[in-house]
Amino acid sequence: MTLQPEPRPQQAAETPDVSTPSVRSVSKKSLFWVAAFVFILIVGAVTFSTAGAGAAAARLGGTSPNPNGAKAVVEVLRDHGVTVHLADSLAEARAAASDTTTVFLYDGQSLLSDEQLAEVGTLGGRLVVAAPDFDTLQQLAPQLAMAGAITDSGTVVPGCTLPFASRVEAITGEGQSYRIIDDSASGVTGCFPAKDNTYSLVQVATGAHTTTVIGTTAVFSNETIVGAGNAALALNLLGESDSLVWYLPTLADLPAGEPTLAELSPDWLPAVTGLLALVVLGAAIWRGRRFGPLVVERLPVVVPASETMEGRARLYQRATARSHAIDQVRIGTIGRLATELGLSHLSGVDEVVSAVAARIGAPVHEVQHTLVTWVPATDGELIVLSDALLDLEKRVAETGPGRRSSPGHPSVTIDQPRQARAHGTEQGE
């Protein structure tokens, strides 16, 4: 392709017929969809920002007004002059706790390690553990064992003489219950018994320090604190001393291990990754933008003429039509042999058989067997017979008087159309 300058046209040509839509018409058409998309984005953003606040609050959180929070009990204790420290980590709890402090622990996600639990066990003067799991129980009150969950929604009565419990009529029974396994140990008192010597609340006194294990969180949560004598127990239990540490372990308590991948990688990595993603997007647009519309071309049907032949061959094979198939081959062979031997097309099979036998000097019955009577019983025989027919043609061609030495079989394919045509000429004229 070459470019050559052309003289400037004398008059301006008419406006070209452009099929690409202009930016204006595209923006008019897509205005609705763009507006709809932006609207959905705004609604989504607003919904996400308002819903996100509620989802972040923790179970039994001291500032959470949700049904599963514990803002009610914390605020009531504050009104009664108890200093409540909300601790998110062990360090905060340690800093806020003194010898007389009551420490409340609820580790719903089992974040604390054994060592941290052991440390929690020494904090303050009194420790209240709500719904501890197996590990927590092992560390803080090894005298107790888990004794299954109480699932009925009834209430349990104190049944003990501990001061904070004796003034309570009943509490919600639903939750975990505990069994005292070390009977000989002193200072272990079970309260709120269920059946079979199991208790919803157990206090273990070790010297001046007491650990109270309570199996239910219903006593503290906003939703259920007003039921039965829950509020009375919660206030009595937590309000015994002047200060309370409300400790809910968070992710900050997890031990700091090896530095994470994010800490190891340089600052610019996210920016570069983002830029490279945009580069890939740009490259996709660059290579993917079509240079004008697709050109459609009506293509012809492609049907090989030998399709019917192939189809018939597969039909023979599927029907195992051995004798029928070999008969077709024999008719063709006999026709070619008759031409080779100079016989008329109208001559009978017996004539051809005897002429072939005479030419190649083989017994007549043998030739008869190959050309007519042999019915192949197996696939192997079919191939053998087919080879015998080929062989017969070859021998007849070779023994012909004054013939060329090459066999006269159509395996010499170039000869065939000419033969057929020469034959046609004889017939036509």
Do 131 and 166 meet the contact criterion of CB atoms below 8 Å apart? no
Interface residue with other proteins among 46, 279, 364, 375 (CB under 8 A) is: 279
Do 129 and 155 meet the contact criterion of CB atoms below 8 Å apart? no
Q: How far is the CB of 13 from other proteins (least distance, A)?
A: 4
HSE at residue 314, side-chain half, CA atoms within 13 A, is: 5
Q: How far apart are CA 429 and CA 422, in angstroms?
A: 11
Q: How far is the CB of 293 from other proteins (least distance, A)?
A: 6
426 near other proteins, rule: CB under 8 A:
no
383 near other proteins, rule: CB under 8 A:
yes
Contacting other proteins within 45-64 (CB under 8 A): none
344 near other proteins, rule: CB under 8 A:
no
Q: Toward other proteins, which CB reaches closer, 226 or 285?
A: 285
Contacting other proteins within 393-412 (CB under 8 A): 409-411
Q: How far apart are CA 391 and CA 306, in angstroms?
A: 26
Burial of residue 386 (number of CB atoms within 10 Å: 0-12, 13-18, 19+): middle
**141: closest CA among 181, 88, 197?**
181
Q: How far apart are CA 99 and CA 72, in angstroms?
A: 26
Contacting other proteins within 214-243 (CB under 8 A): none
* DSSP, res 144: E
Do 189 and 162 meet the contact criterion of CB atoms below 8 Å apart? yes
Extended strands (E) in 41-111: 83-87, 102-105
Q: Toward other proteins, which CB reaches closer, 149 or 269?
A: 269
Alpha carbon 288 to chain centroid distance?
29
Q: How far is the CB of 201 from other proteins (least distance, A)?
A: 54
Q: How far is the CB of 371 from other proteins (least distance, A)?
A: 14
79 near other proteins, rule: CB under 8 A:
no
Q: Toward other proteins, which CB reaches closer, 142 or 282?
A: 282
The encoded tokens of residue 65 equal 């007004």
Q: How far is the CB of 428 from other proteins (least distance, A)?
A: 4
Contacting other proteins within 243-262 (CB under 8 A): none
Q: Toward other proteins, which CB reaches closer, 4 or 151?
A: 4
272 near other proteins, rule: CB under 8 A:
yes
User: H-type helices in 80-186, by residue range?
Assistant: 90-96, 114-120, 134-140, 163-166
Do 173 and 141 meet the contact criterion of CB atoms below 8 Å apart? no
Per-residue x/- mask for other proteins, residues 16 to 35, rule CB under 8 A? xxxxx-xx------------
Interface residue with other proteins among 142, 154, 332, 348 (CB under 8 A) is: 332
Contacting other proteins within 292-311 (CB under 8 A): 292-293, 295, 297, 300-310
CA angle 232, 189, 85 (to 5 degrees): 50
Interface residue with other proteins among 43, 252, 377, 420 (CB under 8 A) is: 420
Span interacting with other proteins, options 71-79, 92-100, 219-227, 328-336, rule CB under 8 A: 328-336
Span interacting with other proteins, options 6-14, 49-57, 65-73, 112-120, rule CB under 8 A: 6-14
# residues contacting other proteins (CB under 8 A): 85
Q: How far is the CB of 326 from other proteins (least distance, A)?
A: 7
372 near other proteins, rule: CB under 8 A:
no
Alpha carbon 138 to chain centroid distance?
40
Burial of residue 177 (number of CB atoms within 10 Å: 0-12, 13-18, 19+): buried
Span interacting with other proteins, options 142-150, 204-212, 225-233, 272-280, rule CB under 8 A: 272-280
Q: How far apart are CA 248 and CA 105, in angstroms?
A: 6
Q: How far apart are CA 354 and CA 218, in angstroms?
A: 113
183 near other proteins, rule: CB under 8 A:
no
Span interacting with other proteins, options 123-131, 225-233, 363-371, 415-423, rule CB under 8 A: 415-423
Interface residue with other proteins among 259, 285, 363, 373 (CB under 8 A) is: 285
Q: How far is the CB of 387 from other proteins (least distance, A)?
A: 7
Q: How far is the CB of 356 from other proteins (least distance, A)?
A: 18
Query: Which residues have a Cβ under 8 Å from the Cβ of 117 and sit 6 or more positions away?
Result: 135, 136, 139, 140
